[in-house]
């Protein structure tokens, strides 16, 4: 029995329904089963054709979803691959070599599909509820990444760290930092991370956070950032003509990297083409499988 869109939206709207990886897997499977038959249309992006948009029927107010990268998003048949293979592969992440493209693609695409299933479902909410959807989607992505790190046996949580601001040997006040990822090995904080579904105009803050936090705390803790993607829907002159536009700011990223401090790992599920071609970008930005397969373990000592 296929889950109704109304039911899917209700599930996705309540964060209590996502407390374990299996909750995400289950929801994803149900959403893709629905999408296989329940959509009004799949609209192809006019400028980057690997992107598409799902359009709902009247049960979803004929809303058009966020852009979905068809090279990364599994369909209903593919969702069975996630269920059978994703966790098994993820648990072996540390031993997956760089050239095992198949395993790495499975990790990357599974994370993307798990999250976009939630995002796309929330896009069915009526207009006035869209901000609600934005908040929930971001929170659930943070939670998913944490759950995946924990699944690998690594201590990871979110929380507030209060850094003392000291002038002339006297603590004037404390500055609160809310971190999405606090990664510990043997009890010690070894990396701090930021998780966002897109960098948008909040990219600068991540660089600033590393700079100021390490300065205040007088440490040199690595800071990483995890992003789902950096595209948004673009509406064109003609109605019903959809495209995507990039929200990543390469000038800012490179400026902060070169002149302030580079981040210690930046990971995307849906990486932009310029992150593979620009020499500065490609040396600092990688696909998300690199975090789980390689970089996470380098923070240990």
Partner DNA sequence: ACTACGCCCCGCGAATACCC
Partner DNA sequence: GGGTATTCGCGGGGCGTAGT
Binding residues for DNA, rule: CB under 7 A, are 15, 47, 66, 119, 128, 130-132, 134-139, 141-142, 160, 176, 178, 180, 195-198, 200-202, 205, 232-233, 235-237, 245-247, 249-252, 274
Nearer to DNA, 277 or 301 (CB): 277
The CA distances from residue 189 to 176, 179, 217, in Å, are 16, 12, 12
Give least dist CB 66 to DNA, A: 5
The CA distances from residue 228 to 4, 21, 106, 178, in Å, are 26, 17, 15, 20
Closest alpha carbon to 196 in 234, 247, 162: 247
Tokens of 284: 């600092």
Give least dist CB 116 to DNA, A: 10
Nearer to DNA, 65 or 79 (CB): 65
Give least dist CB 237 to DNA, A: 6
- Cα-trace Rg, the chain: 20
Residue 182: half-sphere exposure toward Cβ, Cα within 13 Å: 12
Q: Which residues, in sequence order, are bridge partners of residue 44? A: 52
Phi and psi angles of residue 72, each rounded to the nearest 5 degrees, phi first = -110, -30
Give least dist CB 103 to DNA, A: 27
Nearer to DNA, 49 or 245 (CB): 245
Nearer to DNA, 64 or 106 (CB): 64
Nearer to DNA, 93 or 145 (CB): 145
Q: How many C-beta atoms surround the C-beta of residue 31 within 10 A?
A: 25
Give least dist CB 71 to DNA, A: 18
């Amino acid at each position: 029995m296929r889950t109704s869109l109304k039911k899917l939206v209700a599930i996705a709207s309540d964060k209590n329904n996502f407390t374990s990886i299996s909750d995400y897997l289950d929801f994803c499977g149900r959403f893709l089963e629905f999408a296989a038959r329940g959509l009004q249309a799949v609209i192809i992006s006019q400028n980057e054709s690997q992107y598409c948009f799902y359009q709902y029927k009247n049960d979803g107010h004929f809303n058009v979803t966020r852009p979905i990268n068809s090279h990364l998003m599994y369909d209903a048949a593919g969702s069975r691959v996630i269920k059978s293979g994703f966790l098994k592969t993820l648990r072996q992440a540390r031993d997956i070599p760089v050239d095992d493209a198949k395993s790495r693609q499975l990790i990357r695409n599974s994370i993307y599909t798990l999250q976009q299933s939630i995002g796309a479902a929330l896009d069915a909410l009526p207009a006035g509820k869209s901000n609600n959807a934005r908040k929930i989607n971001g929170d659930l992505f943070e939670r998913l990444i944490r759950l995946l790190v924990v699944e690998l046996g690594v201590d990871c949580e979110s929380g507030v760290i209060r850094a003392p601001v000291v002038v002339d040997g006297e603590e004037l006040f404390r500055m609160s930092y809310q971190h999405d990822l606090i990664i510990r090995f043997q009890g010690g904080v070894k990396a701090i991370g930021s998780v966002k579904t897109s960098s948008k105009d909040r990219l600068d803050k991540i660089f600033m956070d590393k700079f100021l936090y390490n300065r205040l705390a007088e440490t040199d803790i690595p800071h990483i950032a995890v992003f789902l993607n950096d595209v948004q829907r673009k509406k064109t002159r003609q109605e019903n003509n959809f495209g995507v536009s990039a929200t990543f700011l390469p000038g800012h990223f490179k400026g902060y990297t070169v002149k302030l401090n580079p981040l210690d790992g930046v990971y995307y599920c849906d990486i932009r083409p310029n992150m593979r071609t620009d020499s500065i970008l490609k040396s600092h930005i990688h696909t998300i499988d690199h975090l789980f397969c390689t970089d996470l373990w380098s923070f240990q000592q």
